[in-house]
Structure 1
Amino acid sequence: MIRLATPADAEEAVDLLTIVLRDMELPILTQLPEEQLRDMLIEAFHSTKTYRYGFKNALVNELDGKVAGIAFGYSANDEPIIDDVFNTILKSQSVPEHYRLFNEPEVYENEWYLDTLVTSANFRGKGVATRLLQTLPDLANQAGHDKIGLNVDQINHHARSLYVNKGFSKVGELTISNHLYDHMQKSC
Protein backbone atom coordinates (compact mmCIF):
# COMPACT_ATOMS: atom_id res chain seq x y z
CA MET A 1 0.00 0.00 0.00
CA ILE A 2 1.38 3.40 -1.00
CA ARG A 3 0.66 6.13 1.54
CA LEU A 4 2.00 9.37 2.91
CA ALA A 5 4.40 8.91 5.80
CA THR A 6 3.37 9.70 9.36
CA PRO A 7 5.48 10.52 12.42
CA ALA A 8 4.95 6.90 13.53
CA ASP A 9 7.16 5.78 10.61
CA ALA A 10 10.20 7.60 12.00
CA GLU A 11 12.33 4.68 13.18
CA GLU A 12 11.79 2.48 10.12
CA ALA A 13 12.23 5.46 7.78
CA VAL A 14 15.48 6.57 9.40
CA ASP A 15 16.84 3.02 9.40
CA LEU A 16 16.23 2.82 5.64
CA LEU A 17 17.57 6.33 5.08
CA THR A 18 20.78 5.43 6.90
CA ILE A 19 21.49 2.75 4.28
CA VAL A 20 21.63 5.46 1.61
CA LEU A 21 23.61 7.90 3.75
CA ARG A 22 26.26 5.21 4.37
CA ASP A 23 26.48 4.47 0.64
CA MET A 24 27.05 8.18 0.05
CA GLU A 25 29.95 8.15 2.54
CA LEU A 26 28.89 11.45 4.06
CA PRO A 27 31.52 12.95 6.38
CA ILE A 28 28.99 13.49 9.18
CA LEU A 29 28.78 9.70 9.58
CA THR A 30 32.34 9.70 10.92
CA GLN A 31 32.02 12.99 12.79
CA LEU A 32 29.15 11.99 15.08
CA PRO A 33 28.32 8.81 16.97
CA GLU A 34 25.83 6.74 14.97
CA GLU A 35 23.21 6.69 17.74
CA GLN A 36 23.36 10.47 18.16
CA LEU A 37 22.93 11.02 14.43
CA ARG A 38 20.03 8.53 14.33
CA ASP A 39 18.28 10.31 17.21
CA MET A 40 18.68 13.67 15.47
CA LEU A 41 17.34 12.28 12.18
CA ILE A 42 14.32 10.84 14.02
CA GLU A 43 13.69 14.17 15.73
CA ALA A 44 13.91 16.00 12.41
CA PHE A 45 11.63 13.43 10.71
CA HIS A 46 8.88 14.44 13.17
CA SER A 47 9.09 18.13 12.26
CA THR A 48 6.00 19.73 10.78
CA LYS A 49 8.21 22.19 8.91
CA THR A 50 9.71 21.57 5.49
CA TYR A 51 12.65 19.19 5.92
CA ARG A 52 14.48 17.00 3.41
CA TYR A 53 13.85 13.82 5.43
CA GLY A 54 10.71 14.86 7.27
CA PHE A 55 7.51 12.85 7.23
CA LYS A 56 5.81 15.58 5.18
CA ASN A 57 8.25 14.91 2.33
CA ALA A 58 8.02 11.12 2.54
CA LEU A 59 6.00 8.52 0.70
CA VAL A 60 5.87 4.99 2.11
CA ASN A 61 5.27 1.63 0.46
CA GLU A 62 3.91 -0.54 3.26
CA LEU A 63 3.80 -4.33 2.97
CA ASP A 64 2.83 -6.76 5.72
CA GLY A 65 2.58 -3.86 8.18
CA LYS A 66 6.20 -2.82 7.59
CA VAL A 67 7.80 0.08 5.74
CA ALA A 68 9.04 -1.85 2.70
CA GLY A 69 10.35 1.24 0.97
CA ILE A 70 10.36 4.99 1.22
CA ALA A 71 10.77 7.94 -1.12
CA PHE A 72 11.75 11.42 0.05
CA GLY A 73 11.24 14.34 -2.29
CA TYR A 74 10.45 18.03 -2.52
CA SER A 75 10.05 21.01 -4.82
CA ALA A 76 13.25 22.60 -6.10
CA ASN A 77 11.89 25.83 -4.62
CA ASP A 78 12.43 24.37 -1.13
CA GLU A 79 16.14 23.61 -1.52
CA PRO A 80 17.39 26.83 0.15
CA ILE A 81 15.60 25.87 3.40
CA ILE A 82 15.42 22.09 3.08
CA ASP A 83 17.97 21.36 5.82
CA ASP A 84 17.15 24.20 8.23
CA VAL A 85 15.30 21.87 10.63
CA PHE A 86 18.22 19.45 10.87
CA ASN A 87 20.79 22.24 11.13
CA THR A 88 18.82 23.75 14.02
CA ILE A 89 18.89 20.39 15.80
CA LEU A 90 22.66 20.15 15.25
CA LYS A 91 23.11 23.63 16.71
CA SER A 92 20.89 22.83 19.72
CA GLN A 93 23.23 19.93 20.53
CA SER A 94 26.34 22.11 20.21
CA VAL A 95 27.53 20.26 17.12
CA PRO A 96 30.16 22.32 15.22
CA GLU A 97 28.64 24.39 12.44
CA HIS A 98 30.69 22.73 9.69
CA TYR A 99 29.06 19.34 10.47
CA ARG A 100 26.29 19.05 7.90
CA LEU A 101 24.59 16.25 6.03
CA PHE A 102 24.97 18.06 2.71
CA ASN A 103 26.94 21.06 1.54
CA GLU A 104 26.33 20.86 -2.21
CA PRO A 105 23.19 21.91 -4.11
CA GLU A 106 21.42 18.91 -5.64
CA VAL A 107 18.38 20.11 -7.56
CA TYR A 108 17.80 21.72 -10.92
CA GLU A 109 15.35 24.59 -11.30
CA ASN A 110 11.67 23.91 -11.87
CA GLU A 111 11.66 20.26 -10.90
CA TRP A 112 10.21 18.12 -8.18
CA TYR A 113 13.27 16.43 -6.75
CA LEU A 114 13.39 12.78 -5.67
CA ASP A 115 16.04 13.03 -2.97
CA THR A 116 16.05 9.42 -1.81
CA LEU A 117 14.45 6.14 -2.83
CA VAL A 118 15.27 3.06 -0.80
CA THR A 119 13.80 -0.41 -0.38
CA SER A 120 14.24 -2.62 2.67
CA ALA A 121 16.50 -5.62 1.98
CA ASN A 122 13.61 -7.88 3.04
CA PHE A 123 11.40 -6.56 0.22
CA ARG A 124 13.80 -6.11 -2.70
CA GLY A 125 12.73 -7.57 -6.02
CA LYS A 126 9.02 -7.15 -5.21
CA GLY A 127 8.35 -3.94 -7.14
CA VAL A 128 8.47 -1.70 -4.06
CA ALA A 129 10.59 1.02 -5.69
CA THR A 130 8.65 0.79 -8.95
CA ARG A 131 5.34 1.42 -7.18
CA LEU A 132 6.81 4.40 -5.35
CA LEU A 133 8.17 5.82 -8.61
CA GLN A 134 4.76 5.43 -10.27
CA THR A 135 3.19 7.65 -7.60
CA LEU A 136 5.69 10.51 -7.91
CA PRO A 137 4.18 12.28 -10.94
CA ASP A 138 1.05 13.03 -8.89
CA LEU A 139 3.17 14.56 -6.12
CA ALA A 140 5.17 16.59 -8.62
CA ASN A 141 2.02 17.87 -10.32
CA GLN A 142 0.44 18.78 -6.97
CA ALA A 143 3.57 20.84 -6.23
CA GLY A 144 3.22 22.63 -9.58
CA HIS A 145 5.99 20.80 -11.45
CA ASP A 146 5.90 18.94 -14.74
CA LYS A 147 9.19 17.12 -14.31
CA ILE A 148 10.89 14.97 -11.71
CA GLY A 149 14.63 15.12 -11.13
CA LEU A 150 16.96 12.83 -9.22
CA ASN A 151 20.64 12.08 -8.76
CA VAL A 152 22.09 8.61 -9.11
CA ASP A 153 25.65 7.67 -8.19
CA GLN A 154 27.48 6.77 -11.40
CA ILE A 155 28.68 3.51 -9.83
CA ASN A 156 25.14 2.43 -8.87
CA HIS A 157 24.29 0.67 -12.12
CA HIS A 158 21.26 -1.16 -10.70
CA ALA A 159 19.53 2.07 -9.64
CA ARG A 160 20.47 3.81 -12.88
CA SER A 161 18.93 0.95 -14.89
CA LEU A 162 15.72 1.21 -12.88
CA TYR A 163 15.47 4.95 -13.55
CA VAL A 164 16.21 4.61 -17.26
CA ASN A 165 13.60 1.84 -17.46
CA LYS A 166 11.07 4.20 -15.86
CA GLY A 167 11.71 6.96 -18.39
CA PHE A 168 14.41 9.09 -16.74
CA SER A 169 17.28 10.41 -18.83
CA LYS A 170 20.57 12.06 -17.95
CA VAL A 171 20.59 15.85 -18.17
CA GLY A 172 23.80 16.64 -16.27
CA GLU A 173 26.38 15.65 -13.67
CA LEU A 174 27.28 16.87 -10.21
CA THR A 175 29.42 15.88 -7.25
CA ILE A 176 27.94 15.09 -3.85
CA SER A 177 30.31 14.16 -1.03
CA ASN A 178 33.12 13.34 -3.47
CA HIS A 179 30.91 10.98 -5.53
CA LEU A 180 30.05 11.74 -9.14
CA TYR A 181 26.30 11.62 -9.84
CA ASP A 182 24.20 11.74 -12.97
CA HIS A 183 21.30 14.16 -12.69
CA MET A 184 18.32 12.58 -14.42
CA GLN A 185 14.89 13.94 -15.24
CA LYS A 186 11.54 12.70 -16.45
CA SER A 187 8.54 14.69 -17.64
CA CYS A 188 5.27 13.98 -15.91
Structure 2
Amino acid sequence: MTTSRFNFRTTVAADQQFLAEMLIEAAHASGHELTLEALPATTDSYRYVADWGQPSDLGVIAHDDHGTPAGAAWLRHFDRTIASPAFIDEHTPELTIATTASARGQGLGTALLQRLQDTAAQAGVPALALGVHRENQPAQQLYRNEGWQLHTMAGDYNILVKHLDRR
Protein backbone atom coordinates (compact mmCIF):
# COMPACT_ATOMS: atom_id res chain seq x y z
CA MET A 1 0.00 0.00 0.00
CA THR A 2 1.34 3.37 -0.95
CA THR A 3 0.14 6.90 -0.32
CA SER A 4 2.76 8.55 -2.52
CA ARG A 5 0.09 9.51 -5.05
CA PHE A 6 -1.67 11.70 -2.49
CA ASN A 7 -0.94 15.25 -1.39
CA PHE A 8 -2.10 16.52 1.99
CA ARG A 9 -3.14 19.94 3.21
CA THR A 10 -4.84 21.50 6.21
CA THR A 11 -8.55 22.18 6.00
CA VAL A 12 -10.04 25.65 5.54
CA ALA A 13 -13.59 26.94 5.96
CA ALA A 14 -14.30 26.39 2.25
CA ASP A 15 -13.85 22.62 2.78
CA GLN A 16 -17.17 22.29 4.61
CA GLN A 17 -18.92 20.72 1.59
CA PHE A 18 -16.22 18.09 1.08
CA LEU A 19 -16.19 17.31 4.80
CA ALA A 20 -19.96 16.84 4.60
CA GLU A 21 -19.45 14.40 1.72
CA MET A 22 -16.88 12.51 3.78
CA LEU A 23 -19.25 12.51 6.76
CA ILE A 24 -21.81 10.77 4.53
CA GLU A 25 -19.13 8.18 3.61
CA ALA A 26 -18.37 7.64 7.31
CA ALA A 27 -22.08 7.23 8.07
CA HIS A 28 -22.45 4.65 5.30
CA ALA A 29 -19.49 2.70 6.69
CA SER A 30 -21.43 2.49 9.97
CA GLY A 31 -24.56 1.25 8.23
CA HIS A 32 -26.47 4.55 8.26
CA GLU A 33 -28.29 5.78 5.19
CA LEU A 34 -27.65 9.51 5.22
CA THR A 35 -27.72 11.91 2.29
CA LEU A 36 -26.24 15.36 1.76
CA GLU A 37 -29.74 16.75 1.37
CA ALA A 38 -30.85 15.31 4.75
CA LEU A 39 -27.63 16.13 6.60
CA PRO A 40 -28.48 19.67 7.82
CA ALA A 41 -31.67 18.35 9.46
CA THR A 42 -29.76 15.51 11.13
CA THR A 43 -28.25 17.54 13.96
CA ASP A 44 -26.48 14.57 15.58
CA SER A 45 -24.40 14.24 12.41
CA TYR A 46 -24.39 17.77 11.03
CA ARG A 47 -22.65 19.14 14.12
CA TYR A 48 -19.41 17.58 12.84
CA VAL A 49 -19.30 19.95 9.84
CA ALA A 50 -21.71 22.83 10.59
CA ASP A 51 -20.00 26.21 10.32
CA TRP A 52 -16.67 24.52 9.67
CA GLY A 53 -13.62 26.73 10.15
CA GLN A 54 -13.99 27.69 13.80
CA PRO A 55 -10.69 28.48 15.58
CA SER A 56 -10.56 25.07 17.29
CA ASP A 57 -11.46 23.08 14.13
CA LEU A 58 -8.57 21.09 12.75
CA GLY A 59 -8.40 18.79 9.76
CA VAL A 60 -6.40 17.30 6.93
CA ILE A 61 -7.55 16.64 3.37
CA ALA A 62 -5.86 14.35 0.87
CA HIS A 63 -5.92 15.03 -2.89
CA ASP A 64 -5.03 12.45 -5.50
CA ASP A 65 -2.45 13.07 -8.21
CA HIS A 66 -5.13 14.81 -10.32
CA GLY A 67 -5.99 17.26 -7.51
CA THR A 68 -9.29 15.57 -6.66
CA PRO A 69 -10.11 15.34 -2.95
CA ALA A 70 -9.81 11.69 -1.88
CA GLY A 71 -10.29 11.72 1.88
CA ALA A 72 -10.30 13.75 5.06
CA ALA A 73 -9.69 13.44 8.77
CA TRP A 74 -10.87 16.18 11.08
CA LEU A 75 -11.57 16.94 14.69
CA ARG A 76 -13.96 19.14 16.52
CA HIS A 77 -14.42 20.10 20.17
CA PHE A 78 -17.83 19.76 21.78
CA ASP A 79 -19.22 20.53 25.20
CA ARG A 80 -21.60 18.48 27.33
CA THR A 81 -24.67 20.24 25.94
CA ILE A 82 -24.14 18.82 22.45
CA ALA A 83 -22.11 15.78 23.38
CA SER A 84 -22.28 12.55 21.43
CA PRO A 85 -21.71 9.12 22.96
CA ALA A 86 -18.01 9.59 22.07
CA PHE A 87 -17.76 12.71 24.24
CA ILE A 88 -15.08 12.33 26.92
CA ASP A 89 -14.53 15.93 28.04
CA GLU A 90 -14.24 19.46 26.67
CA HIS A 91 -10.49 19.03 26.11
CA THR A 92 -10.78 15.89 23.99
CA PRO A 93 -12.09 16.58 20.48
CA GLU A 94 -13.90 13.99 18.42
CA LEU A 95 -12.28 12.71 15.25
CA THR A 96 -14.05 11.90 12.00
CA ILE A 97 -12.32 10.25 9.07
CA ALA A 98 -13.34 8.91 5.66
CA THR A 99 -12.00 8.31 2.19
CA THR A 100 -13.71 8.14 -1.16
CA ALA A 101 -14.54 4.66 -2.43
CA SER A 102 -11.90 4.92 -5.17
CA ALA A 103 -9.15 5.69 -2.62
CA ARG A 104 -9.81 2.78 -0.26
CA GLY A 105 -7.25 0.06 0.22
CA GLN A 106 -4.29 2.31 -0.59
CA GLY A 107 -3.21 3.24 2.93
CA LEU A 108 -4.87 6.63 2.77
CA GLY A 109 -6.89 6.18 5.96
CA THR A 110 -3.73 5.40 7.89
CA ALA A 111 -1.88 8.37 6.37
CA LEU A 112 -4.76 10.75 7.15
CA LEU A 113 -5.05 9.48 10.71
CA GLN A 114 -1.31 9.78 11.34
CA ARG A 115 -1.16 13.30 9.91
CA LEU A 116 -4.12 14.49 11.94
CA GLN A 117 -2.75 12.92 15.13
CA ASP A 118 0.59 14.65 14.53
CA THR A 119 -1.08 17.98 13.76
CA ALA A 120 -3.28 17.72 16.86
CA ALA A 121 -0.31 16.85 19.07
CA GLN A 122 1.64 19.82 17.70
CA ALA A 123 -1.38 22.03 18.49
CA GLY A 124 -1.31 20.83 22.11
CA VAL A 125 -4.38 18.60 21.95
CA PRO A 126 -3.94 16.04 24.75
CA ALA A 127 -6.14 13.26 23.36
CA LEU A 128 -8.66 12.39 20.66
CA ALA A 129 -11.88 10.37 20.83
CA LEU A 130 -14.10 8.70 18.27
CA GLY A 131 -16.94 6.27 17.93
CA VAL A 132 -16.60 3.35 15.52
CA HIS A 133 -19.27 0.81 14.68
CA ARG A 134 -18.27 -2.60 16.04
CA GLU A 135 -18.95 -4.25 12.67
CA ASN A 136 -16.63 -1.88 10.80
CA GLN A 137 -13.64 -4.21 11.05
CA PRO A 138 -11.31 -2.29 8.68
CA ALA A 139 -11.70 0.85 10.82
CA GLN A 140 -11.36 -1.13 14.06
CA GLN A 141 -8.07 -2.57 12.78
CA LEU A 142 -6.81 0.85 11.64
CA TYR A 143 -7.36 2.34 15.08
CA ARG A 144 -5.84 -0.63 16.92
CA ASN A 145 -2.76 -0.39 14.68
CA GLU A 146 -2.44 3.30 15.62
CA GLY A 147 -2.63 2.64 19.36
CA TRP A 148 -6.20 3.71 20.03
CA GLN A 149 -7.73 2.12 23.13
CA LEU A 150 -11.25 1.21 24.10
CA HIS A 151 -12.71 3.84 26.41
CA THR A 152 -16.30 2.56 26.64
CA MET A 153 -19.10 1.06 24.57
CA ALA A 154 -22.26 2.85 23.51
CA GLY A 155 -24.90 0.88 21.66
CA ASP A 156 -23.30 -0.62 18.54
CA TYR A 157 -20.22 1.57 18.87
CA ASN A 158 -16.84 1.26 20.50
CA ILE A 159 -15.74 4.61 21.88
CA LEU A 160 -11.98 4.81 21.45
CA VAL A 161 -9.43 7.25 22.79
CA LYS A 162 -5.89 8.08 21.73
CA HIS A 163 -3.61 9.99 24.10
CA LEU A 164 -1.20 12.12 22.10
CA ASP A 165 2.45 12.87 22.72
CA ARG A 166 2.93 16.62 22.92
CA ARG A 167 5.60 17.85 20.59
TM-score normalised according to structure 2 size: 0.71
Higher mean alpha-carbon deviation, 57-66 vs 17-26, is at 17-26
Task: Give, in whole Å, the separation in 2 of the partners of 1:24 and 1:82.
Answer: 26
**Structure 2: which 5+ runs fail to align?**
1-6
Residue among 157, 161, 164 paired with 1:185 = 161
One-letter amino acid of the structure 2 residue matched with residue 12 of structure 1: F
Distance verdict in 2 for CA 1:63–1:46, change over 3 Å: farther
Task: Give, in whole Å, the separation in 2 of the partners of 1:79 and 1:145.
Answer: 14
* Contact kept in structure 2, 1:13 and 1:67, CA below 8 Å: no
Taking the TM superposition and a 5 Å limit, the aligned residue runs for 1:78-117 are 78-80=77-79, 104-109=84-89, 110-114=91-95, 116-117=96-97
The structure richer in helix per residue is 1
- 1:162 is paired with a residue whose SS is helix
Task: Give, in whole Å, the separation in 2 of the partners of 1:82 and 1:130.
Answer: 31
Match of 1:35 in 2: 37
* Contact kept in structure 2, 1:113 and 1:149, CA below 8 Å: yes
Match of 2:145 in 1: 165
One-letter amino acid of the structure 2 residue matched with residue 155 of structure 1: E
One-letter amino acid of the structure 1 residue matched with residue 21 of structure 2: D
Q: What CA deviation, in whole Å up to 9, does each residue of 1:41-66 have, x standing for no partner?
A: 6xx65654469xxxx44320111201
RMSD of aligned C-alpha atoms?
A: 3.2
**Bigger Cα Rg:** 1
Match of 2:71 in 1: 69
Amino-acid identity (%)? 27
**Structure 1: which 5+ runs fail to align?**
84-102
One-letter amino acid of the structure 2 residue matched with residue 79 of structure 1: F
Task: Give, in whole Å, the separation in 1 of the partners of 2:40 and 2:80.
Answer: 21
TM-score normalised according to structure 1 size: 0.64
Match of 2:4 in 1: none
- 2:37 is paired with a residue whose SS is helix
One-letter amino acid of the structure 1 residue matched with residue 79 of structure 2: P
* Contact kept in structure 2, 1:50 and 1:82, CA below 8 Å: no
Distance verdict in 2 for CA 1:6–1:48, change over 3 Å: closer
Match of 2:132 in 1: 152
Runs of 4 or more consecutive aligned structure 1 residues displaced over 6 Å after TM superposition:
38-41
Distance verdict in 2 for CA 1:80–1:68, change over 3 Å: same
